[in-house]
């Protein structure tokens, strides 16, 4: 595989042991849609980002904030441990399906579980879509162009469930985006074909989103009304420098189980004061909480005064540090 690379590609390789950690490359949101033969276009999955590290018999799954996921997805550990290469680092997305669509809400039943037996007992099948390769058999391959890394990835691994290769389309980004939105998918990730792997947010990877959604920090919740259980709405925000900026209330998208679970977790971290430095004041009936939990929220648009229009709760994120949650701005890496 590596030996079959052209000489100019082999010159870009670097010897290294399997690293303990490698920060993931992140895509930048854009409102532009384009087609370009120098770019490839992949499906945007609705799941949990994961980097997998194997060094001999040792396999580690890490979330984007370095949480160990071995107990959450033991079947993926097993599958990666039987691959031909014994030393590698791969990047990809862990997903669960509802029908033909990847579903973050369905994956929620696995996220946070740390006992392998409990994880398997959920009965929720998960799949790991690999889309990049950072290390292979003692060589760092991050300096290779993306299209060569993907070729190495496809050649080095046996892709059978639960491991899947992430296919891509060349050039036709606008058609890929239209097809994704028509099929009800999350969107498309556009990637510059000759770009190296950078462990940061980059303009060489771009997000074409069919729907607006992002993470928000939970700063409080309201009392439930009528027959509703647990809580009424979440008060959410994002960081702008040291300030936690209020973005509005999220009152839909919950089922009864989510309401009860959220109330249990939030009541354990209640605070006497608001965490928002730019926020809603002190409305009656609000319980403030320490800003420790992150929610994924879908919405139609931002209002002129910086609030979410028609927000809908999609689940908790355990793979992102609250202090890293900022307002996503098109075409501006953060």
The residues annotated with a catalytic role in the active site are 44
CA distance 135 to 261: 39
Q: Could you give the angle at the alpha carbon of 315 between the alpha carbons of 314 and 319, nearest 5°?
A: 125
In degrees and rounded to multiples of 5, residue 222 shows phi and psi of -105, 160
CA distance 189 to 44: 6
Select from 314, 308, 300, 309 the least CA-distant residue to 327. Answer: 308
Cβ–Cβ < 8 Å for 315, 234: no
In degrees and rounded to multiples of 5, residue 147 shows phi and psi of -65, -30
Cβ–Cβ < 8 Å for 94, 67: no
For the chain, the maximum distance between any two Cα atoms, rounded to a whole number of angstroms, is 70
Cis peptide before 162 (omega within 30 of 0): yes
Buried/exposed code over 256-287 (b: 16+ C-beta within 10 A; e: otherwise): eebbebbbeebeeeeeeebbbeebbeeeeebe
CA distance 179 to 174: 9
């Amino acid at each position: 595989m590596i030996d079959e690379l052209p000489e100019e590609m082999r010159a870009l390789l670097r010897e290294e042991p399997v690293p303990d950690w490698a920060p993931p490359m992140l895509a930048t949101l854009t409102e532009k849609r384009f087609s370009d033969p120098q770019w490839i276009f992949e499906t945007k999955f609705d799941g949990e980002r994961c980097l997998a590290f194997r060094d001999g018999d040792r396999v580690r799954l890490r979330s984007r904030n370095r949480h160990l996921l071995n107990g959450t997805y033991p079947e993926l550990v097993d599958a990666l441990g039987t691959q031909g290469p014994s030393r590698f680092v791969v990047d990809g997305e862990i997903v669960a399906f509802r029908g033909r669509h990847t579903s973050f809400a369905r994956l929620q039943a696995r996220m946070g579980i740390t006992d392998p037996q409990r994880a398997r007992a959920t009965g929720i099948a998960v799949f790991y879509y690999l889309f990049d390769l950072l290390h292979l058999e003692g060589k760092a391959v991050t300096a290779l162009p993306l299209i060569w890394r993907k070729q190495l990835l496809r050649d080095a691994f046996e892709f059978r469930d639960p491991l899947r290769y992430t296919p891509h389309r060349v050039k036709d980004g606008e058609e890929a985006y239209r097809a994704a939105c028509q099929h009800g998918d999350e969107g498309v990730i556009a990637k510059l074909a000759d770009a190296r792997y950078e462990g940061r947010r980059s303009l060489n990877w771009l997000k074409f989103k069919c729907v607006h959604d992002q993470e928000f920090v939970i700063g409080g919740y309201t009392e439930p009304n009528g027959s509703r259980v647990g809580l009424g709405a979440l008060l959410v925000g994002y960081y702008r420098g040291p300030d936690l900026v209020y973005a509005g209330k999220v009152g839909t998208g919950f089922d009864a189980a989510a309401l009860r679970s959220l109330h249990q977790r939030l009541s354990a971290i209640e605070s006497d004061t608001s965490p928002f430095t730019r926020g809603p004041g002190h409305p009656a009936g609000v319980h403030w909480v320490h800003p420790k939990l992150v929610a994924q929220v879908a919405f139609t648009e931002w209002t002129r005064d910086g609030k979410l229009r028609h927000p809908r709760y999609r689940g908790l994120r355990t793979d992102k540090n609250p202090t890293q949650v900022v307002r996503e701005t098109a075409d501006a890496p953060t």
